[in-house]
Amino acid sequence: MPSYFRRTRCVELSTIEYLERMIENSWSGVTVVKSFQQSYDEAVPVVCIRLDETFNGKLEIGSTTYSNTYTIIVDIFAKSDAQRLDLSDFIMEQIKGTWTYCNYAHNSGRTDIVGTPDGKVSLATVTYNRKVEIFDAVASQDKFRHLIMFLVRKF
């Protein structure tokens, strides 16, 4: 019997899957990872995509239904400042619209995950889009790093 993932996990996986597909179709040699620690295990360029936090707001006064907003963080670890700028512009272009939201599940005893389309994820606002400045001893991964943070909703 399939084990279904909850909405927050599905928003994260839907966003990762979407951006990974867009990057693979337009860039060569860019690795997409889900956890920040994995970024340091791969050779640059690396794009790390993860869901940071969920804001729960009531849909209307007196309602027990929530309208959640999710914070997505994209860390870009580039080979050069030019590549950092190009990748950040590319990602900003990709997130300005909507992408498919999938309900994900996996069968017990199996590791493959299957997604079934069930709506859209939409950009609410971009809250952060800038170069990450590190002034101490800079690891090679962090030399040309960029951070994009944005809020999304599921419709």
Q: pLDDT per residue over 17-72, tens digit each? A: 999 999 999 999 999 999 999 999 999 999 999 999 999 888 788 878 888 999 99
- Indicate the domain borders of the chain: 2-154
More confident residue, 79 or 134: 79
More confident residue, 108 or 29: 29
C-alpha 28/C-alpha 37 separation (Å) is 22
Q: How far is CA 148 from CA 64, 67, 88, 136, in A?
A: 32, 23, 8, 22
Give the 3-state secondary structure of the chain.
CEEECCHHHHHHHHHHHHHHHHHHHHCCCCEEECCHHHHCCCCCCEEEEEEEEEEEEECCCCCCCEEEEEEEEEEEECCCHHHHHHHHHHHHHHHCCEEEEEEEEEECCCCCCEEEEEEEEEEEEEEEEEECCCCCCCCHHHCCEEEEEEEEEEC
Q: Which CATH class is domain 2-154?
A: alpha beta
Cα diameter, the chain: 53
Segment 68-88 shows an average pLDDT of 97
Q: Residue 12: CB partners within 8 Å, gap ≥ 6?
A: 34, 50, 51, 70, 72
Segment 84-109 shows an average pLDDT of 94
Segment 76-89 shows an average pLDDT of 97
pTM to 2 decimals? Answer: 0.91
Give per-residue pLDDT as tens, 120-153: 999 999 999 999 988 776 677 899 999 999 999 9
**Predicted pLDDT of residue 95:** 98
More confident residue, 97 or 137: 97
More confident residue, 134 or 116: 116
Q: Is residue 16 very low, low, confident or very high in pLDDT (cuts 50, 70, 90)? A: very high
Tracing tokens 């990450």 back to the chain, one arrives at 132
